Amino acid sequence: MMRKGGKNGVLALVWFGSIALISWGGTVHGFSDVSPQTGVALFERVLMMPVTEPADAVLIQTQTREWKWNRYLKAALHLPDWLDLGLEHRMRFETYDHPWRSSQPAGQTDSQIQQRSRVRVGLNGKYFKFLFEGQDSRVYLDGVESYVTTAIRNEMDVLQVLASVTVHNVLETGLRTDLHVGRLTMDFGRGRLIIRNDYRNTSNTFDGVHWQLGRDQSWRVRLFLVEPVLRDVVQPDEQSKRSVFWGTSIETDRVPRLRLNAYYFGLNDQRNAIVDRQRTFSTFGTRLYDVPKTGRIDYEIESVWQTGKKGDVDHFAHFQHIDIGYTLALPWSPRFLIHYDYASGDRNARDSQHSAFDTLFGARRFDYMPTGNFGPFFRSNFSSPGWRVIAVPCQGCEVQLKHRVWYLATSRGVFGRNGLHDATGGSGNFLGHDLELRAQWRTNDNLEFELGYTHWFKGSYFDRLPDSAGLPPGGNRGSDYFYIQTKFRL
């Protein structure tokens, strides 16, 4: 029998050998890709192994890299065109010091290795398609007080299993319609309310029905009725009939430089036995934006409003976002952006009005900070201006430098989901500011590397918190977060 050390050595050799093979293949073959941050082409090559559109393509239309890559394994097995097979593995080391969460009372540095593996098996016909996608999310090096939730660890589970029907020319009108049934992931708009998570080690998924009708890329209408899937660390994930999520969305780019998303999402979540945690929300939003182009100003404005009930209390909250950017016609295509975000908070937990914004099933990393075991800022109870510089120094590369300043929207409200709260407001509202440097390199669409460093200069809020808040020792000191990750696909 092979010893454990020998087995690990073989696995490491296979892993690095796979990366070397993909990297070598990608120096010749790739496909045209555009950075979502700068609008600049990262690749100008031709995909060696064209991939048939899978069943979930329109569900995650803005994240084509989630399924479009060279299928080396499929080619090696000589599988037919209608049968899809793809593997993905991502590994990330991340560490940060001076934790602030009340759940980490010793205040020790939290270092982790997070791994996420996925397998996709699809049957792709002209009208009917089927997709199975499994996901395994694990964490290593974690200790007793490490921040580990089901957003980080969710072992051996079904991410997607769905069937779809597509009609490309409905009644000779040129319209396309798609119907999806099963367990699925979804993106809507920029992903602030519904997204197939990327940086996070696990992903949001739903059981139900999704339908869309549209014309090419110019417009589309979407409707869905689903039950959010509840993640479990080791047991199979299940949905609950006491939690129902539905909505509709309109997307159009028919007006030059004025692209529009308008949407309504409804949530009735009665799973929790604690009445105060039950949610019945209606969320209305509009997003206006322009695609970044060299030599002109671009923008993004999103306004979201929520009404309903939080437990037995009336709920009214809102979120506002604005970006203004400009891309210079210079080497590296530098792009400059200024940001501002505001998410309402709850002033008094004991009054008749709940005002903390709920981001539903959205992501935070692309707007704020790396999440993983870090991610102190949630889209609730904050006000934050900031700026960002993005450059493309080489083919497939992207570098970002970002700075944001953070305030509580209301000093009496809860600080995100970190367990910190001063109901008197005596600690003030200044949370500090952060500086982040991030670098990404995609040698091709099968191999990616990324690393980043963030320093969070904590504000006076942490110096003034009462002992009852449970701030760990050293939690008022600045936190350094570092990560390095690689992702490869076969």
Q: What is the mean pLDDT of residues 28-52?
A: 53
pLDDT of residue 146: 96
pLDDT of residue 10: 38
Determine contact, residues 86/67, Cβ cutoff 8 Å.
Answer: yes
pLDDT of residue 42: 47
* pTM, to two decimals: 0.90
Per-residue pLDDT reduced to its tens digit, 7-27:
444 344 344 444 444 444 443
Asked whether residue 137 carries a pLDDT value surpassing 60, the answer given is yes
Q: What is the mean pLDDT of residues 100-122?
A: 96
pLDDT of residue 6: 45
Asked whether residue 101 carries a pLDDT value surpassing 60, the answer given is yes
Q: What is the mean pLDDT of residues 375-382?
A: 97
Asked whether residue 5 carries a pLDDT value surpassing 80, the answer given is no
Asked whether residue 3 carries a pLDDT value surpassing 70, the answer given is no
Query: pLDDT band for position 66 (50/70/90)?
Result: very high
Per-residue pLDDT reduced to its tens digit, 276-320:
899 999 999 999 999 999 999 999 999 999 999 999 999 999 999
- Output the average pLDDT for the chain: 91
Topology of the domain comprising 4-489:
Porin (2.40.160)
Q: What is the mean pLDDT of residues 345-373?
A: 94
User: Domain residues of the chain, as ranges?
Assistant: 4-489
Q: What is the mean pLDDT of residues 185-209?
A: 97
Lookup result for tokens 């890559």: 69
Asked whether residue 40 carries a pLDDT value surpassing 80, the answer given is no
Per-residue pLDDT reduced to its tens digit, 384-398:
999 999 999 999 999
> Phi then psi for 26, rounded to 5 degrees?
-75, -10
pLDDT of residue 216: 86
Query: pLDDT band for position 470 (50/70/90)?
Result: very high
Comparing CA positions, the residue from 313, 338, 34, 65 lying closest to residue 196 is: 65
Counting residues of the chain whose pLDDT is more than 90, the rounded percentage is 84
pLDDT of residue 466: 95
pLDDT of residue 47: 54
Per-residue pLDDT reduced to its tens digit, 242-279:
999 999 999 999 898 999 999 999 999 999 888 889 99
Asked whether residue 471 carries a pLDDT value surpassing 50, the answer given is yes
**Separation between Cα atoms, residue 488 and residue 16, nearest integer Å:** 10
Per-residue pLDDT reduced to its tens digit, 212-249:
999 988 999 999 999 999 999 999 999 899 999 999 99
Question: Nearest 5°: CA angle at 39, between 36 and 43?
Answer: 90
pLDDT of residue 71: 95
